[in-house]
């Protein structure tokens, strides 16, 4: 039987290019190594053990996750050092204890003294030993305590002194690096991220409490920080794939994007200069993060089936539940793109788009014509 190609699989489907994935992973590994920090890949974007294995190659072995379902899944695949990088809730602790009973060290984060107390108490009740990190706000204003707050010391002390918990360090996330439009701006945010985490760790140590881990991370800051002195690890995630938004904030180039959606032209409107593809709001997500960027691609950049730019730039201007509307641009006619033509769409925000699919169709643009589907890799969605 001939090999399955991207021209055979149902549309819409999610395509992952192994060659680009590996290069993206290598670039971040080099960046972390050059700054003398461990790389803890954040698997919130990939949600795949196969991607995790590539991202962990040559690294210390720790990962970060964004859901307990991911934690359960990666623990079941033998990953033993997992940071659950979303503030823990007391009613999740039983599930955490179960994951630990599988043998995984699952580190929890919190910015709440009350939750830390609950962790210490439930640890005792459940016979568990919970690992607690304090989350810091380094300027994003999303979650986290401030490095100079009394709450920080209180969280550290409670966890440190508890019989069934341990204080494992501090972590912060400069999500506001996504607002930066130049590398110089990212460097500034990265330095605040670094100094916030280091300052917090020093204060904790000054109180006689060990603070082993000093964890920071976003793809832009992990790549572009000038110094990570005092930091022990970075936790970027989206770098593995990249997307149209990341390509505009200096995280990668459009040529580096490893994930796209394969789709087909499904209708030419009788009289209007636009065509429909069978990838809409569900296949692409409603993310519009390129809306105010220099290269606004609507709901995604349209390329040919192989992922090569078309001679004229086309984009998904509007989405319906199952349809994407692509305006024809000057110099392109319906005859060039008949119904059934396969196209690819590079999404704005790959975390959102990938979440609509249960698996990746793996291709490798370095092998042959790059169209063969060489594997199918599952994803773990949901909570």
Summarize as ranges the residues that interact with a copy of itself (CB under 8 A): 10-13, 44, 66-68, 86-87, 89-92, 95, 111-112, 114-115, 137, 141-146, 149, 151, 175, 264, 266-272, 276, 278, 281-283, 285-288, 320-323, 325, 338-340, 351-352, 355-358, 381-383
- Residue 32 CB, shortest distance to a copy of itself, in Å, is 22
Other C-beta atoms lying within 10 Å of the C-beta of residue 90: 15
User: What backbone torsions phi and psi does residue 222 show, to the nearest 5 degrees?
Assistant: -65, -35
Other C-beta atoms lying within 10 Å of the C-beta of residue 29: 18
CB nearer to a copy of itself: give 35 or 298: 298
- Residue 267 CB, shortest distance to a copy of itself, in Å, is 4
CB nearer to a copy of itself: give 308 or 358: 358
- Residue 19 CB, shortest distance to a copy of itself, in Å, is 26
CB nearer to a copy of itself: give 61 or 320: 320
CB nearer to a copy of itself: give 8 or 30: 8
Distance of CA 183 to the CA centre of its chain: 20
User: Do the beta carbons of residue 382 and residue 69 sit within 8 Å?
Assistant: yes
Alpha-carbon distance 174 to 99, whole Å? 28
- Residue 50 CB, shortest distance to a copy of itself, in Å, is 19
User: What backbone torsions phi and psi does residue 304 show, to the nearest 5 degrees?
Assistant: -75, 175
- Residue 366 CB, shortest distance to a copy of itself, in Å, is 27
Question: What is the full DSSP assignment across 323-369?
Answer: -EEEE--TT--GGGS-TT-EEEEE-S-HHHHHTT-SEEEEE-TTSTT
- Residue 31 CB, shortest distance to a copy of itself, in Å, is 22
CB nearer to a copy of itself: give 177 or 232: 177
CB nearer to a copy of itself: give 35 or 349: 349
- Residue 322 CB, shortest distance to a copy of itself, in Å, is 5
- Residue 93 CB, shortest distance to a copy of itself, in Å, is 11
Alpha-carbon distance 113 to 60, whole Å? 30
Reduced DSSP (H G I as helix, E B as strand, rest coil) percent helix, strand, coil of the chain, to 5? 35, 25, 40
- Residue 182 three-state SS: coil
CB nearer to a copy of itself: give 195 or 278: 278
- Residue 14 CB, shortest distance to a copy of itself, in Å, is 10
H helix intervals, 62-127: 68-76, 93-101, 113-126
Query: Sign (positive/negative) of CA torsion 182, 192, 234, 120?
Result: negative
CB nearer to a copy of itself: give 29 or 180: 180
Alpha-carbon distance 162 to 108, whole Å? 15
Helix (H) or strand (E) holding 152: helix 150-161
CB nearer to a copy of itself: give 267 or 308: 267
Pairing mode, strands 105-110 and 130-136: parallel
């Amino acid at each position: 039987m001939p090999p399955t190609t991207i021209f055979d699989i149902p549309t819409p489907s999610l395509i992952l290019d192994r060659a680009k994935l590996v290069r993206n992973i290598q670039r971040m590994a080099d960046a972390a190594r050059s700054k003398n920090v461990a790389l803890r890949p954040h698997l919130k974007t990939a949600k795949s053990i196969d991607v995790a294995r590539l991202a962990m190659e040559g690294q210390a072995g720790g990962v970060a996750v964004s859901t307990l379902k991911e934690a359960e899944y990666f623990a079941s695949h033998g990953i033993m050092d997992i940071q659950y990088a979303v503030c823990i809730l007391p009613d999740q602790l039983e599930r955490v204890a179960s994951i630990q009973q599988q043998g995984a060290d699952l580190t929890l984060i919190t910015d709440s003294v009350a939750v830390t107390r609950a962790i210490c108490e439930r640890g005792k009740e459940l016979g568990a030993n919970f690992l607690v990190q304090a989350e810091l706000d380094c300027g994003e204003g999303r979650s986290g305590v401030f490095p100079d707050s009394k709450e920080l010391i209180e969280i550290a002390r409670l966890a440190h002194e508890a019989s069934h918990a341990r204080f494992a360090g501090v972590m912060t996330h400069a999500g506001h690096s996504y607002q930066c439009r130049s590398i110089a701006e990212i460097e500034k945010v990265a330095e605040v991220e670094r100094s916030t985490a280091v300052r917090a760790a020093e204060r904790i140590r000054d109180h006689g409490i060990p603070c082993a881990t000093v964890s920071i991370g976003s793809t832009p800051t992990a790549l572009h920080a000038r110094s990570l002195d005092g930091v022990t690890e970075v936790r970027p995630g989206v770098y593995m794939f990249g997307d149209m938004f990341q390509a505009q904030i200096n995280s990668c180039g459009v040529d580096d994007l490893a994930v796209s959606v394969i789709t087909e032209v499904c209708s030419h409107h009788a009289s209007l200069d636009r065509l429909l593809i069978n990838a809409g709001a569900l296949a692409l997500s409603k993310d519009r993060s390129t809306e105010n960027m220099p290269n606004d691609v609507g709901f995604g950049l349209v390329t040919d089936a192989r992922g090569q730019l078309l001679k004229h730039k086309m984009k998904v201007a509007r989405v319906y539940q199952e349809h994407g509307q692509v305006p024809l641009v000057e110099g392109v006619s319906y005859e060039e793109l008949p119904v059934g033509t396969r196209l690819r769409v590079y999404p704005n925000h790959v975390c959102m788009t990938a979440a609509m699919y249960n698996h990746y169709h793996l291709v490798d643009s370095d092998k042959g014509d790059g169209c063969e589907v060489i594997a199918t890799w599952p994803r773990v969605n949901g909570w």
